[in-house]
Amino acid sequence: MSTSTKAMDRIDRDRAIADFKAEWGTLIRESRPPADRTLPVKRYVDLFASVGGLSLGASLAMANEGYRGIPLLAADVDEAALAVYARNLRPREVAGRSVAGMIDFRVSGAGSDARFSYEPIVTDERLSALNGTIDLLLAGPPCQGHSSLNNHSRHDDPKNLLYLTVPAVAVATGAKHVVIENVPNVVADRRGVVQTTITLLREAGYQVESGVLAADKLGWPQTRRRFFLVASKDSTPASFAEVVDQFSAPATAVGWLLGDLITSADSPTADIMNTVPSLSAENRSRVDYLFDNELHDLPNAERPDCHKDGTTYSSSYGRMHWELPAPTITGGFLSPGRGRFVHPKLRRVLTPREAARVQGFPDWFDFIVDESRPPSRSQLARWIGNAVPAILGRAAVSAALRGESASIAMRTELFAS
């Protein structure tokens, strides 16, 4: 490659990063934009909704495709998380209950042999009232049973079967599009929930696209990967390759997201979103060692015995790199011993607000519903760490909507001819 070609590649890369920062910097840092009520509406339901990370991404996808998203219902067993969802996303209804209790269904067989034993029936009145009106069904079934961090019941947790409630609800309500997200390891589930779900949806007339999307491949400053299954009736979802090609960008540095938040955590009036737990003497010493020696990985001699040679968690007690994407944010980000969660510039872990930014939550997103009773740090860590970055949700939902748009365009063209 010639010097001039390399220089041009550098210019193109720098321009792509600048464009990405301009778009997402506005989305993350600015106040919430007003809804454009002139746009056609897409109505959606979010199952296993938590605080609404996937819904945020879906709303962006709808706006990109020329629609205004309206959340009809959000369901989750965590009522405190639903209160956060309601405060920020304003659904018409919330259902603080198990999704499994909202649908009556039974599956015979598994994988390619799977069938519903009888037509699934919605048993929740709020969800039943939406039959035939749902344009998009979102779902993020519990993923702990599939996580690579779960050594006890990996791939064989009964909670994994909650995944199957999603095709049952889709079939029972006649949802036009379905988007399910989970960890990449869900495809290794011993009960074959992904293949079973694909079979059930195809039998019901849906066309399915699935695969893993990586946040950093879309320009985001986090190396987070999620498995998505997208299913559509009356249209074929766009391929993930097509969506990734459209949204791809060079990965940005986490310092871009964190730079303007450095001083907020030192404010004496900072709330729980902008403060961190006190470190133990041992962890304080470990963090100091990283900074005093200009390191990002803690040497074995400074680690506790359980985190020395042979551990699969080598990033534990690690410090983030300012100029690189962050590692995957988990519910353990408030503890240096649970991952590479030490701030790149400051001798502490990330604050909840910093972690929320890295997870794609904009600054206007309010996790404190009642200031007299703020959520606990453990709640915040779970809600933020388990969320789906908005950039991934946008890409997956775009695959569904792009397929519908292409189908409409094709029918219009055929009719005109």
Environment class of residue 79 by beta-carbon count within 10 Å: exposed (0-12), middle (13-18) or buried (19+)?
A: exposed
What is the residue whose two structure tokens read 């961190």?
276
**DSSP character for 209?**
E
Amino acid at 225: R
**What beta strand segments (E) does 187-308 contain?**
206-214, 225-233
Q: Using DSSP bridges, classify how beta strands 93-95 and 68-75 pair: parallel, antiparallel or unpaired.
A: parallel
C-alpha 256/C-alpha 43 separation (Å) is: 34
**259 is written with which tokens?**
């730079």
CA-based nearest residue to 251, from 223, 212, 228, 227: 223
Q: How far apart are CA 229 and CA 127, in angstroms?
A: 22
Find the length of the chain: 417
How do strand 121-122 and strand 103-104 relate by DSSP bridges? Answer: antiparallel
DSSP state of 263: T
pTM for the model stands at 0.91
Q: Are 103 and 168 in contact (CB under 8 A)?
A: yes
pLDDT of amino acid 408: 58
Among 58, 75, 80, 143, the one annotated catalytic: 143
pLDDT of residue 148: 46
Alpha carbon distance 286, 270 (integer Å): 25
Q: Please tell me the distance from the alpha carbon of residue 90 to that of residue 7, in angstroms, as a whole number.
A: 48
Q: Tell me what pLDDT residue 11 has.
A: 78
- pLDDT per residue of the chain (417 residues) written in tens, 0 to 9: 555 556 657 778 889 999 999 999 999 999 998 989 999 999 999 999 999 999 999 999 999 999 999 999 999 999 999 999 999 999 999 999 999 999 999 999 999 999 999 999 999 999 999 999 999 999 999 965 544 444 443 444 456 689 999 999 999 999 999 999 999 999 999 999 999 999 999 999 999 999 999 999 999 999 999 999 999 999 999 999 999 999 999 999 999 999 999 765 556 567 999 999 999 999 999 999 999 999 999 998 898 877 766 555 678 999 999 999 999 999 999 999 999 999 999 999 999 999 999 999 999 999 999 999 999 999 999 999 999 999 999 999 999 999 887 655 544 454 455
Q: Report whether 326 contacts 223 (CB < 8 A).
A: yes
143 annotated active-site: yes
Residue 154 to residue 157: CA distance in whole angstroms: 7
Q: What is the DSSP string of 27-88?
A: HHHSPPPPP-TTSPEEEEEEET-TT-HHHHHHHHHHHHTT-EEEEEEEE-S-HHHHHHHHHH
Q: What is the pLDDT of residue 306?
A: 75
Domain 31-251+390-416, CATH number (from 2.60.40.10, 3.50.50.60, 3.20.20.30, 3.40.50.150):
3.40.50.150
Which two structure tokens, joined as six digits, stand for 415? 């009719």
Q: Quick check: do 31-251+390-416 and 254-385 share a fold?
A: no
Distinct helix (H) and strand (E) counts, the chain: 12, 11
pLDDT of residue 223: 97
Question: How far apart are the C-alpha atoms of 22 and 17, rounded to whole Å?
Answer: 9
Superfamily of domain 254-385: DNA Methylase, subunit A, domain 2 (3.90.120.10)
Taking the domains of the chain in order of start, what are their residue ranges?
31-251+390-416, 254-385
